[in-house]
Chains A and B, each alone.
Chain A
Amino acid sequence: MPGSIRVFGWLEMARTADTLLEDIQGPTPGQMLRKRIFGHQGLLFGVAVLGLLLLVAIFAPLLAPHDPYAQDLLARMQPPVFLGGSWEHPLGTDHLGRDYLSRLIYGARISLLIGGFAALISGLIGTAMGVAAGYFGGRVDMAVTFLINVRLAMPVVLVALAIVAVFGGSLQVVILVLGFLLWDRFAVVMRSSTLQVRSREYVTAAQAIGCSTSRVILSEIMPNIVNNLIVVVTLEMAHAILLEAALSFLGLGVQPPTPSWGLMVSEGKQMMLFEPWLVAIPGITLFVLVLAINLLGDGLRDVTAPENRS
């Protein structure tokens, strides 16, 4: 072995010696992974908050104190408790007298549904394209790269708005539009990951013993790029949630009276001068949800690839 001139190389050597001596008592890879997970504050925060919001979304009917659609025009724009309101409406009521907390709780459903399904659809499209491009190369790669370029050239917000305007702003339409627009990062990342893995010896070995293409891709390539895939899933889920909120905010996403957080910001905007909390509250929940998903993604990347940590 040639002498390593890097200081870190030296350190590694010394550590290798250590672990060799102690390999019987030393921590197992599983223990080390667990240690990394529980030592990662961002990851823990992300998992905790996302888990909590997921529970809130699932048990929304049990948790919401009121019907999110029930209007009470006599009790409009009641302030939240911390601004002098009553516990009847802990987070106050909106301009139609609907309970803000209940709308917020049901809004978690919308955001998570859209984030989850949009990421699923775009993930299927993008992964198929990226893996095909990386594995087959040549013309397939050229075609996929071209499609990625076309997709990136189209202004997402504008195209999404235009399509929603044409087909109407139902939940399904928004999910489909986002799903068909946000596959680019999946394709880019999966393509480069596949390229890296494709030339490894174990893939060549599988090809050499006559495994079918689908078998090589599914059992040799996919397991080795799935951690990158998971990170992109979280990124795109966050992206889709933010985009849905922006579309709804612009009035061309999910339509009223659906309790979408972006729509709530948009409705609160009219009263912003006097009741800024109407805008602040749904924005904060949106921020916390996206933050949690991003931290989860960053954390997963750090934990699964510790050498990437700076």
Chain B
Amino acid sequence: MSEPVLSVRNLRLDIPTGAGTLHAVRGIDFDLERGETLCIVGESGSGKSLTSLAIMDLLSKRIERKADKLVFDGTDLTKAGAKKMRALRGDRMAMIFQEPMTSLNPAYTIGDQLMEALLLHRKVGKAEARRRAVELLEKVGITGAERRLSQYPHQLSGGLRQRVMIAMALMCEPELIIADEPTTALDVTIQAQILRLLVDLTREMNVAMILITHDLGVVARVADKVAVMYAGELVETGTAKKVFDAPMHPYTRGLLRCIPVPGKTERGSELGSIPGIVPSLVGKVSGCVFRTRCEEATEACRGEIPYRESAEGRHNFRCVHETGRRAGVEEPA
């Protein structure tokens, strides 16, 4: 297997606050192969967006980023300066944001904003950039592309704007696209279209994608790999099939119980929920962060938590219990 396009080891993000250091993200590890789609799932505030911004080096200066390894396409990002990062952003790695309504600059035309990345990174003329912009607008399914180029963001609907954002991300044929909840702000009917488009295009162009979402239904449909995040840690990672078929971590199991499965979930039965709240991450964080809400919690959860590999391999989880369950407890039917 070739070198992964993105390799992350022990990524940590610290935010100094008045009350002490907030350890927002702790010890993230994952690899992403070329053309692969990794879904990072987790609830609001679990640090998924921070992680993606950290890879792009778009975090506010207040946030401290540390990592044992952060290599993108052969470049060590921990050592890359601002100039090197600028050269990579928009060219080799691109990002799609959650809010299409506010992510485009209201003062410039769609065409200007589409062409900008290409003009910044490649030695091409305006005419060439324009041709590429039209080509990509057509690719993301926008009709009358020529005419759209001279329109302003406020003249486009949310769905169209998100299509423009996708086209913009693809302008320089990047190796990696990070999409941070790209469909959350859209109408439900548009969500599926945009997601399909994004997945089809990344497959077609062999672009690796990190898709951040809290929608497990989406994950099941599009992910090659899944990473489940809780309170700043990856509690479980693995291929989509393995994580969904045999979730090991109690949190993942809890999450999966929260979604109804057609045909499996009985009408009128109660959906699962995970009681409790996310603990404060200010100051020293030790032991398992999920123990305050975990059904399987024991005294041992306060100690060192091993990162385990499940019996079948390519599937890891972070739990004191070998099988993700307290010894002697049978799975409820």
Chain A residues at the B interface, C-beta cutoff of 8 Å: 1-7, 9-11, 13-14, 17-18, 20-21
Contact = CB atoms under 8 A, between A and B. Distances in A.
Nearest to B24: A10
22 contacts: A1-B44, A3-B42, A3-B48, A3-B98, A3-B184, A3-B212, A5-B49, A5-B97, A5-B98, A5-B180, A7-B50, A10-B24, A10-B45, A11-B15, A13-B278, A14-B22, A14-B45, A14-B280, A17-B277, A17-B279, A18-B19, A18-B280
Contacts of B15: 7, 11
Contacts of B99: 5
Contact of A4 (B17, B45, B280): B45
B333 to A, nearest CB: 32
Interface residues of B, number: 33
> Which 4 residue pairs are nearest across A and B when measured between Cβ atoms?
A13-B45, A3-B44, A5-B49, A2-B184
B214 interface: yes
A51 B215 CA distance: 59
A18 B280 CA distance: 6
Nearest to B41: A3
A13 B282 CA distance: 12
A5 B181 contact: yes
Contact of A18 (B42, B60, B282): B282
B149 interface: no
Given A7-B60, A17-B280, A2 B45 contact: no
Contacts of A5: 49, 97-99, 180-181
Interface string B179-193: 011001100000000
Which residue, A10, A11, A18, A20, has most C-beta atoms of chain B within 10 A?
A10
A211 B282 CA distance: 49
B305 interface: no
B47 interface: yes
B43 A14 contact: no
Nearest to B52: A5
B98 to A, nearest CB: 5
B63 interface: yes
B53 interface: yes
B60 A3 contact: no
Interface in B1-48: 15, 17, 19, 22, 24, 42-48
Contacts of B44: 1-4, 9, 13
A100 B184 CA distance: 70
Given A17-B277, A17-B278, A10 B181 contact: no
A286 to B, nearest CB: 40
B195 interface: no
B45 A7 contact: no
Interface in B276-291: 277-282
Nearest to B180: A5
Nearest to A3: B44
Interface string B64-97: 0000000000000000000000000000000001
A207 B221 CA distance: 49
A2 B181 contact: yes
B220 interface: no
A4 B278 CA distance: 15
A11 B17 contact: yes
Contacts of A3: 42-46, 48-49, 98, 181, 184, 212, 214
A14 B281 contact: yes
A7 B59 contact: yes
Contacts of A4: 44-45, 49
Contacts of B24: 10, 14
B205 to A, nearest CB: 25
Nearest to A2: B184
Contacts of A14: 22, 24, 45, 278, 280-282
